[in-house]
Chain A
Amino acid sequence: MATTVTTESTELFDKKTWMGGVEPMNASYGKLMMWFFLISDTFTFSALLVTYGLIRFSFPVYDPAIHGAFQFSNLYWPIPEQVYNSVPFLHGVDAPLIFVGIMTFILIFSSVTMVLAVEAGHRMDRPTVEKYMLWTILGGFAFLGCQAWEWSHFIHGTEQGMSIKEIVSGEWVSRTVFGANLTENQYGPPAFADLFFFITGFHGTHVFSGVLLNMLIFYRTATGLYQRRGHYEMVEKVGLYWHFVDLVWVFVFTFFYLV
């Protein structure tokens, strides 16, 4: 069998192609697999965002002509800037979307320091890699801290809360709901809080594991492993993951907070 394929046209696919050491798509094995992991992770995140789109469009939108002045109600989908309008240490100040904007800039900036670390790795510049990895880790922790505050605020709710009417054993009873959990939500329909917890929670988990990976990379850089290995490709691979986390936040920011 093998003797029949020794023509010139098969030169592109000679035996060496199948003996290993060839990089398909000009990317190393690890990098290619990271890309394929990221595309599968994209599907998971898209599933959540698609669900958000479906559920949101199946609820009425707030219309001043019908509903009057805006107040929290489970009859329509809330306006994000009315929900996310608090900043730590500024109690009672109406600052719509300011805090989430700060979070966005923190994550973009930590993405920049990551790419600076990758660039330094290409030049085998170990101190610079260490420096920028530390900044990236700091940015990750800062973002996680912000998210913890955001969740805490969302769960505890505002002072006024939202009064709802419901039928309890055949009679209309009115009571006030404070904050949000998976079954009750003062800001709007319960599905809104559920999606908030699922989407930002899933993203936060990614940030957390990204920070752990970054710390591992920092440790291995600081102990000189990559310098001895002769290349800093691990920084690049984890960098891909970290940028992906930033990218997801860009989409979450738009579809959850802005639109």
Chain B
Amino acid sequence: MSDYNHHADHVGTEVAPAQTKRIWQVFLILSAVTTLEFVIAFTIKTGYFKTSLFVGLTIVKAFYIVGEFMHLKHEVKGLIWAILLPTLFVCWLLLAMMLEGGSIFNLR
């Protein structure tokens, strides 16, 4: 994001053409994935396979939102890791606590 236009005397004149092709591309991908999730919700039987499909597709959507819309894909590596690493630990906590919940169910 270093390519900012810092010239204040540029006001209102000769606006550069819009570069929105990639944005609409990502929008199409997100819509397609969401539609696919709907199809899966009503066609595939409930079970581990369905759940892992949903989790996988959610990660795909998260990748496009964070990577393209939030522009993280184009930041420096240090920033990417500063955001990604804590999130990975959160995923571990989620898994651990779900297993814990299963064990509470078994003990009841």
* B97 and A50 contacting across the interface, CB-CB below 8 Å: yes
Minimal beta-carbon separation of A109 from chain B (angstroms): 8
For the complex, would chain B's binding face be called helix, strand, loop or mixed by DSSP majority?
Answer: helix
Q: A46-B94, A125-B15 are in contact. Are A230 and B5 (CB under 8 A)?
A: yes
Total of A-B residue pairs, C-beta within 8 Å? 160
* A39 and B34 contacting across the interface, CB-CB below 8 Å: no
* Stretch among A156-164, A213-221, A239-247 lining the B interface: A239-247
Minimal beta-carbon separation of B69 from chain A (angstroms): 5
* B31 and A231 contacting across the interface, CB-CB below 8 Å: no
A81 to B93, CA, bound (A): 27
13 A–B pairs (Cβ distance < 8 Å), ordered by A = A26-B79, A42-B87, A50-B93, A50-B97, A60-B105, A97-B38, A101-B34, A108-B30, A112-B23, A115-B68, A250-B58, A254-B37, A258-B54
**CB-contacts of A29-62 with B (<8 A):** 31-32, 35, 38-39, 42-43, 46, 49-51, 53-60
Residues of chain A contacted by B26 (CB below 8 angstroms): 112
Residues of chain B contacted by A43 (CB below 8 angstroms): 86, 90
Q: Could you list which residues of chain A lie within 8 angstroms of chain B, going by C-beta atoms?
A: 24-28, 31-32, 35, 38-39, 42-43, 46, 49-51, 53-60, 81, 96-97, 101, 104-105, 108-109, 111-112, 114-116, 119-120, 122-126, 128, 227-231, 233, 236, 239-240, 243-244, 246-247, 250-251, 254, 258-259
Minimal beta-carbon separation of A58 from chain B (angstroms): 4
A109 to B24, CA, bound (A): 10
A70 to B108, CA, bound (A): 23
The 4 A-B pairs at the shortest CB distance, nearest first, are namely: A57-B101, A58-B104, A54-B101, A58-B101
Minimal beta-carbon separation of A69 from chain B (angstroms): 16
- Apart from A39-B82, A55-B101, A251-B62, 6 more pairs, CB < 8 Å: A26-B79, A50-B97, A54-B104, A123-B18, A239-B70, A243-B70
A114 to B61, CA, bound (A): 17
Q: Could you list which residues of chain B lie within 8 angstroms of chain A, going by C-beta atoms?
A: 1-8, 10-12, 15-16, 18-20, 23-24, 26-27, 30-31, 34, 37-38, 41-42, 50-51, 54-55, 57-58, 61-62, 65-66, 68-70, 75-76, 78-79, 82-83, 86-87, 90, 93-94, 97-102, 104-105, 108
Q: Which of A26, A42, A124, A236 lies in contact with B90, CB distance below 8 A? A: A42
* B69 and A111 contacting across the interface, CB-CB below 8 Å: yes
* A26 and B23 contacting across the interface, CB-CB below 8 Å: no
Residues of chain B contacted by A243 (CB below 8 angstroms): 65-66, 69-70
B35 nearest CB neighbor, chain A only: A101
* A111 and B5 contacting across the interface, CB-CB below 8 Å: no
Minimal beta-carbon separation of A121 from chain B (angstroms): 9
Residues of chain B contacted by A53 (CB below 8 angstroms): 94, 97-98, 101
A23 nearest CB neighbor, chain B only: B2
A141 to B69, CA, bound (A): 21
* A259 and B51 contacting across the interface, CB-CB below 8 Å: yes
A123 to B3, CA, bound (A): 10
A49 to B90, CA, bound (A): 10
Q: Which of A46, A116, A236, A246 lies in contact with B20, CB distance below 8 A? A: A116
